[in-house]
Structure 1
Amino acid sequence: LLLLPDRIKAICILNGQVVFEDFFTEKFGPLKRMVRDPVLGQIWIHTERAVYRYNVKQESRDVWKMYMSMDRFDLAKEFCKDRPECMDMVLAKEAEYCFQKKKYKESAKCYALTQNYFEEIALKFIEAKQEVALMEFLLKKLLNLKPSEKIQATLLTTWLTELYLNRLGTLESDASKKSTYLKTRDEFRAFLGTQKNKDSLINNRASIYELLASHGDTEHMVYFAVLMQDYERVVSHHCQHDDYKEALKVLSKHKDEKLFYKFSPVLMQHIPQAVVDSWIEMGKRLDPKNLIPALVNYSQSAGTQINEAIRYMEFCVEELKETE
């Protein structure tokens, strides 16, 4: 505050602008002195024949605007923590500022916290060909969704899966970016494995499988199938690629009787000893009658298959006491 003979001025120390000015007539004489009550915060001014009192309220209410106009966004946000509408304006201004400065990732983080139209912001990053920033924006939006917004969550997880696959495909073809590829791959797997995202992906797994297939990403198709506990798809994939040991490993780990019955005929043809070892380990959890297709097919063949079939039948008689 500045005290002049005929007026007082309140000047903002942040930008030097006059924010308040009050004039006095000469009726009571010129202004003499100004003091501040340290307890109540009131301002007292007197002339030779009069005393004036000013109550200062919400002195900092517009400070956020000044800091925002100065592009000092952290300070602006400090002064509008309890005012959501003001915070939204600051975040939007900061997001636009970062975008203009080509700090796209920082811009995306700010935009994700605003109430601006989702489609407009997404299009903004698409037009600027900033896929990484777009992913950051979508990830933040997904994180801030309410549990009831299931449709939005499904749409975002599907879109993000597509973007991750595009990026992984681009990086994989460039040997000089192997470290970036590995980092992105880990981020993608973490994204798929997050419980909140898994709930959305389960409801839309068919579309995710189609995306993975369209990109030819068998590695992540298997990874996703394991996350979804879709072990039949995993075992089938390994069998189709002649990786029978890995297929049996999945069966042995998850101990699903129905899958044993389904895939044993194929596995018995290629790794009979390992298959019979797994059957024996499963013990009474497997019904030998349901393994007859695997046993009959190969009991007519020479070599290891016959011996292993006999070994399992002996186990059934001696250990499981099966006589029928």
Structure 2
Amino acid sequence: LLLYPDRIKAICILNGQVMFEDVFTEKFGPLRRLVKDPALGQIWIHTERAVYRYNVKHESRDVWKMYMSMDKFDLAKEFCKDRPDCMDMVLAKEAEYCFQNKKYKESAKCYALTQNYFEEIALKFIEVKQDDALIEFLLKKLLNLKQSEKIQATLLTTWLTELYLNLLGTLESNASKKKLYLKTRDEFRAFLTTQKNKDCMINNRASIYELLASHGDTEHMVYFAVLMQDYERVVSHHCQHDDYEEALQVLSKHKDETLFYKFSPVLMQHIPKSVVDAWIAMGKSLVPKKLIPALVNYSQSAGTQINEAIRYMEFCVEELQETEQ
């Protein structure tokens, strides 16, 4: 506050602008002194024949605007924490500032917290071909969705999966970007394993499988199938690629009797000893009678298969006390 003989002025110390001015007439003489009540925060001014009192209220209400105009966004946000509309304006300005300065990821984080139109912001990042920033924006939007917004969550998770697969495909073909590929792969897997995203994908798994298949990404198709507990798909994939030991490991780990009955005939033809070891480890969980198709599914020259079949039948008689013919 500045005191003059005929007026007072309130000057903003942030930008030097006059925020308030009050002019006095000469009726009561020139202004003499200005003091502040430290307890109540009131301002007192007097002349020789009069006393004036000023009550200062909401002195900092527009400070956020000043800091925002100076591109000091962190300080601006400090002064509008309890004012959502003002906070939204600051975030939007900060997002645009970062975007113009090509700080796209920082821009995406800010835009995701604003009330700006979703499509408009997404298009901005698409136009400048900033998939990393677009992914960041969509991830933040997904995180901020309410539990009831299931359709939006499904759309976002599907779109994010497509973006990640595109990015991984581009990076994988460039040997010089191996580290970035591995980093992005880990981020994608973290995205898939987040419980909220898994819950969303359960009812949309068919679309995710189609995306993975269209990109030829068998590695992540298996990874996703395990997350969805689609073990039949996982075992089938390993068998189709002649990876029978891996298929048997999946069966042994998850101990699904139905899958044992379904895939044992194929596995018995290729890794009979390992299969019988797995059957024995399952003990009474398996019904020997249901394994007959696997026991008799061998060629006349398949001596190992015959010997292993006999070994399992001996186990059934001696250990499981099976007497059924």
Tell me the distance in 1 between the aligned counterparts of 2:292 and 2:268. Answer: 11
Tell me the distance in 2 between the aligned counterparts of 1:297 and 1:19. Answer: 93
Who is 2:62 aligned against? Answer: 62
**TM-aligned CA deviation for residue 301 of structure 1:** 4.6
Asked whether 1:97 is paired with 2:97, we answer: yes
1:221-300 correspondence to structure 2 within 5 Å: 221-298=221-298, 300=300
Percentage identity across paired residues of the two chains? 90
Letter in 1 for 2:158: T
Superposed CA deviations along residues 161-202 of structure 1, whole A, max 9, x for unmatched, are: 000000000000000000000000000001100101100111
Tell me the distance in 2 between the aligned counterparts of 1:186 and 1:198. Answer: 16
Who is 2:171 aligned against? Answer: 171
Give the total of aligned pairs: 324
Counterpart of 1:267 in 2: which secondary structure? helix
Letter in 2 for 1:132: D
Superposed CA deviations along residues 94-124 of structure 1, whole A, max 9, x for unmatched, are: 0000000110000000000001110100011
Letter in 2 for 1:311: R
Who is 1:19 aligned against? Answer: 19
Counterpart of 1:22 in 2: which secondary structure? strand
Counterpart of 1:20 in 2: which secondary structure? strand
Counterpart of 1:52 in 2: which secondary structure? strand
Asked whether 1:146 is paired with 2:139, we answer: no
Tell me the distance in 2 between the aligned counterparts of 1:163 and 1:200. Answer: 17
Who is 2:87 aligned against? Answer: 87
Tell me the distance in 2 between the aligned counterparts of 1:22 and 1:242. Answer: 89
**TM-aligned CA deviation for residue 273 of structure 1:** 0.5
Asked whether 1:40 is paired with 2:8, we answer: no
Superposed CA deviations along residues 111-166 of structure 1, whole A, max 9, x for unmatched, are: 00001110100011101111100000000111111111111111111100000000
Counterpart of 1:34 in 2: which secondary structure? strand
Tell me the distance in 2 between the aligned counterparts of 1:315 and 1:300. Answer: 23
Residue pair 1:36, 1:44 contacting (<8 A) in 2 also: yes
Tell me the distance in 1 between the aligned counterparts of 2:264 and 2:298. Answer: 11
RMSD value, Cα: 0.8
Who is 2:9 aligned against? Answer: 9
Superposed CA deviations along residues 59-90 of structure 1, whole A, max 9, x for unmatched, are: 00000000000000000000000111100000
**TM-aligned CA deviation for residue 302 of structure 1:** 3.2
Superposed CA deviations along residues 259-311 of structure 1, whole A, max 9, x for unmatched, are: 00000000000000000000011011000111010111227553101000111
Residue pair 1:299, 1:306 contacting (<8 A) in 2 also: no
Unpaired segments of 5 or more residues in structure 2?
A: none
Tell me the distance in 2 between the aligned counterparts of 1:215 and 1:264. Answer: 31
Residue pair 1:95, 1:107 contacting (<8 A) in 2 also: yes
Residue pair 1:298, 1:309 contacting (<8 A) in 2 also: no
Tell me the distance in 2 between the aligned counterparts of 1:237 and 1:142. Answer: 31
Counterpart of 2:49 in 1: which secondary structure? coil
Tell me the distance in 2 between the aligned counterparts of 1:22 and 1:135. Answer: 54
Letter in 2 for 1:261: Y
Tell me the distance in 2 between the aligned counterparts of 1:163 and 1:272. Answer: 43
Letter in 2 for 1:229: Q
Q: State TM-score, norm by structure 2.
A: 0.99
More displaced, 293-302 or 310-319? Answer: 293-302
Tell me the distance in 2 between the aligned counterparts of 1:302 and 1:105. Answer: 61
Counterpart of 1:67 in 2: which secondary structure? helix
Residue pair 1:36, 1:42 contacting (<8 A) in 2 also: yes
1:195-206 correspondence to structure 2 within 5 Å: 195-206=195-206
Tell me the distance in 2 between the aligned counterparts of 1:303 and 1:293. Answer: 17
Counterpart of 1:274 in 2: which secondary structure? helix
Superposed CA deviations along residues 192-220 of structure 1, whole A, max 9, x for unmatched, are: 00101100111110000000000000000
Tell me the distance in 2 between the aligned counterparts of 1:228 and 1:300. Answer: 40
Tell me the distance in 2 between the aligned counterparts of 1:213 and 1:69. Answer: 50
Tell me the distance in 1 between the aligned counterparts of 2:85 and 2:236. Answer: 54
